[in-house]
Homo-oligomer: A and B are copies of this chain.
């Protein structure tokens, strides 16, 4: 398949709720960057975290293999809960990025998602 996407992406939102009513990985509050690499080459990806009041963190390096998807949780990059942040995702091959939050602070779940902002 022909590759699809861009090499630079940004997600201006970023907030991991500090509480969870769920205890499983599926139901704990979390934020995810969904990374699709539809190309025939592995994607070497760097994620930089931007904060409100201190210098950026990272870049966190990861690989999305050719023709694979990776749903990367921000907590697994060490991003703390209950703090505003943003992120920039850079890749050496075109990828597609979508941002999702699951908020389980209450027994009922809340979800948000958006395609990220892409750039050449």
Contact = CB atoms under 8 A, between A and B. Distances in A.
Contact of A109 (B15, B99, B100, B105): B105
Interface string A89-104: 0000001111111110
Prevailing SS type, chain A contact patch: strand
Quickly give the copy total for this chain. Answer: 4
A97 to B, nearest CB: 6
B113 A110 contact: no
A12 B84 contact: no
Interface in A40-57: 48, 50-53, 55-56
Contacts of A119: 4-5
B14 A38 contact: no
B112 A109 contact: no
B26 A51 contact: no
A49 to B, nearest CB: 9
9 contacts: A2-B8, A10-B96, A11-B96, A36-B86, A38-B88, A51-B68, A106-B107, A111-B112, A113-B114
